[in-house]
Structure 1
Amino acid sequence: MPQIDDLPPLREVIRTHDLVAKKQLGQNFLLDLNLTARIARSAGDLAGCDVLEVGPGPGGLTRGLLAEGARRVLAVEKDARCLPALAEIAAACPGRLEVLLGDALEVDVLAHLTPPVRIVSNLPYNVGTELLVRWLTPPLWPPFWQSLTLMFQKEVAERIVAKPGSKAYGRLALLAQWRTEARIVLTLPPEAFVPAPKVHSAVVHLTRLEAPRFPADGAVLARITAMAFNQRRKMLRSSLKALNPAIEEHLRAAGIDPTQRAEEIGLEQFCSLARSIAASG
């Protein structure tokens, strides 16, 4: 029986199965198995865990996850052309790789996963942010996953870990940092991929907190931050005036100067503002 180390190089796999990356699917294949192994290791101890991988493509990261000891990998792939390459990996690791053909935005993965679960993916660029937001905003917290180890365009990764006062700081930073510990663990140049994108990429590791960092109603917080950052150049008393007729009072109650702008306000103050507004009905 073939072992995972006996599988052919990824460039050979791509040639054999004619896997030309499709721009419309946001595909950029990472072929260096040393790099995919580093990404897998950055996800932490995978032994005893199910791992969800979105967009495995020819399976470079999939191999790394299995080699690093993942109990099972559930790979969700939209491109049917990749199935034969992934089947070769499954044959080398009997019972440890399940592949679902479908759109990760639509597939119900929970029926296929057994806790503890980690999510590790080189996300397709065109759906990466939407998937992250979904994983960070489940109806109940804590979520089904323990950690997220995800590759994004470097600009998106920097938005996830940004601090107040920076240009990258916004809704994505607040959403991620409210409920997780987020850090960039690896950056990759364009030439690491086939085809090479026009931008650098970065891997972000997010570890869930068992409870949000500060108490707040998630829906109220989301509405506040959406309004505030959609008009980030405006003072908060202007950008949030449609939210509540007494918005200046609520801002002051949260320790926020009504003339400040969204990018100047930290997570704790936004949560305080959300509590004040929620309490007012």
Structure 2
Amino acid sequence: MSAIDGLPPLREVIAAHDLRAKKQLGQNFLLDLNLTARIARAAGDLTACDVLEIGPGPGGLTRGLLAEGARHVLAIEKDARAIPALNEIAAHYPGRLTVIHGDALMVDPLAHLTPPIRVAANLPYNIGTELVVGWLTPPQWPPFWQSLTLMFQREVAQRIVARPGSKDYGRLALLAQWRCEARIVLTLPPQAFVPAPKVESAVVQLTALPAPRYPADAQVLSRITFAAFNQRRKMLRASLRGLHPQIETLLAEAGILPTARAEEIGLDRFCALARALKSQPAG
């Protein structure tokens, strides 16, 4: 990739800017530009899209996204040490890269992006789940993004694509699969990163559906899944007891055995329960 874009290898960039990864920022840098190019390609045809990238670090994925033809990339980076390196990339791709020094949880990206928008990022481990839950639960659907192509610890990726009955199945799977197609597109070993994390990583692609798979009120569904999986070892008649005095009747109406546990119930039944609860509010 360095021969293609004419910029230095990432190891040289890190050395030049003293960009040793900081554990407190959840940093693990992916230095193989062939791998960052594969992640960029997994995001699809970017030539007509703006791309939001969180935590670009020294810019490996940023370079991949731009080399793959992204119309414009907005890179939000909290670590001030990385900004000069990212500005060098911006200078190499005039008008196609905007770099913001700030906290991704606090910055409004829509002020800097033009639809259609895709998100692609090697997310910092310490905020990855919080970010994706926010993207999956906006007030309005469809969301501002067409797709999310995101790297997580492999265990988080497995939780996103998990099916009922598996140990990884939970609230994150339901939130993702209710409104998106979710699949793992790439798995990476620890040694691909500097420093090497203790676990494998995986890239998940989430493609927004035009509408949720099943009708349900988002807030009601969120309340149900939170209560159900917060006490996942309990029967649903116990874990959901606080939601409605007649919860067993509503479970039966939704086609769910009151003695079932959360991990046994599919998305369609949870949505049916949300509709039943919405139609018969407590009190």
TM-score range, shorter chain: over 0.9
- Is 1:224 matched with 2:228? no
Hey, what does 2:58 align to over in structure 1?
Answer: 58
Deviations 1:123-166 (Å, cap 9, x if unpaired)? 00000000000000111000000000000000000000000000
SS of equivalent residue, structure 2 residue 242: coil
Hey, what does 1:263 align to over in structure 2?
Answer: 263
Question: What is the rounded CA distance, in whole Å, between the counterparts of 1:108 and 1:4 in structure 2?
Answer: 32
Amino acid at match of 2:39: I
Question: What is the rounded CA distance, in whole Å, between the counterparts of 2:270 and 2:25 in structure 1?
Answer: 36
SS of equivalent residue, structure 2 residue 241: coil
Report the CA distance between 1:219 and its aligned residue.
Answer: 0.4
Hey, what does 2:29 align to over in structure 1?
Answer: 29
SS of equivalent residue, structure 2 residue 88: helix
Deviations 1:150-201 (Å, cap 9, x if unpaired)? 0000000000000000000000000000000000000000000000000000
Question: What is the rounded CA distance, in whole Å, between the counterparts of 1:3 and 1:100 in structure 2?
Answer: 27
Query: Are the counterparts in 2 of residues 4 and 63 from structure 1 also a CA contact under 8 Å?
Result: no
Report the CA distance between 1:5 and its aligned residue.
Answer: 1.6
Hey, what does 1:246 align to over in structure 2?
Answer: 246
Report the CA distance between 1:3 and its aligned residue.
Answer: 9.4
Deviations 1:195-247 (Å, cap 9, x if unpaired)? 00000000000000010010000000000000000110000001101110000
Q: 1:103-252, aligned counterparts within 5 Å?
A: 103-252=103-252
Question: What is the rounded CA distance, in whole Å, between the counterparts of 2:48 and 2:209 in structure 1?
Answer: 20
Hey, what does 1:71 align to over in structure 2?
Answer: 71
Amino acid at match of 2:181: E
Identity of matched residues, %: 76
Question: What is the rounded CA distance, in whole Å, between the counterparts of 1:212 and 1:271 in structure 2?
Answer: 10
SS of equivalent residue, structure 2 residue 98: strand
Question: What is the rounded CA distance, in whole Å, between the counterparts of 2:5 and 2:47 in structure 1?
Answer: 19
CA-based RMSD of the aligned residues comes to 1.0
Report the CA distance between 1:6 and its aligned residue.
Answer: 1.1
Question: What is the rounded CA distance, in whole Å, between the counterparts of 1:73 and 1:141 in structure 2?
Answer: 23
Question: What is the rounded CA distance, in whole Å, between the counterparts of 2:196 and 2:276 in structure 1?
Answer: 48
Report the CA distance between 1:80 and its aligned residue.
Answer: 0.6
What's the TM-score once normalised by structure 1's chain length? 0.99
Question: What is the rounded CA distance, in whole Å, between the counterparts of 1:263 and 1:144 in structure 2?
Answer: 30
Report the CA distance between 1:120 and its aligned residue.
Answer: 0.1
Question: What is the rounded CA distance, in whole Å, between the counterparts of 1:68 and 1:52 in structure 2?
Answer: 14
Question: What is the rounded CA distance, in whole Å, between the counterparts of 1:232 and 1:8 in structure 2?
Answer: 50
Question: What is the rounded CA distance, in whole Å, between the counterparts of 2:91 and 2:111 in structure 1?
Answer: 23
Query: Are the counterparts in 2 of residues 4 and 92 from structure 1 also a CA contact under 8 Å?
Result: no
SS of equivalent residue, structure 2 residue 243: coil
Report the CA distance between 1:4 and its aligned residue.
Answer: 6.4
Question: What is the rounded CA distance, in whole Å, between the counterparts of 1:113 and 1:96 in structure 2?
Answer: 11
Question: Which segments of 5 or more consecutive residues in structure 1 lack a partner in the other structure?
Answer: none
Question: Which segments of 5 or more consecutive residues in structure 2 lack a partner in the other structure?
Answer: none
Question: What is the rounded CA distance, in whole Å, between the counterparts of 2:91 and 2:242 in structure 1?
Answer: 58
Query: Are the counterparts in 2 of residues 4 and 93 from structure 1 also a CA contact under 8 Å?
Result: no
Report the CA distance between 1:35 and its aligned residue.
Answer: 0.1
Query: Are the counterparts in 2 of residues 3 and 93 from structure 1 also a CA contact under 8 Å?
Result: no
Deviations 1:38-93 (Å, cap 9, x if unpaired)? 00000011011000000000000000000000000000000010011101101110
Hey, what does 1:11 align to over in structure 2?
Answer: 11
SS of equivalent residue, structure 1 residue 242: helix
How many residue pairs align between the two structures? Answer: 280
Query: Are the counterparts in 2 of residues 142 and 210 from structure 1 also a CA contact under 8 Å?
Result: yes
Question: What is the rounded CA distance, in whole Å, between the counterparts of 1:5 and 1:99 in structure 2?
Answer: 18
Question: What is the rounded CA distance, in whole Å, between the counterparts of 1:234 and 1:5 in structure 2?
Answer: 55
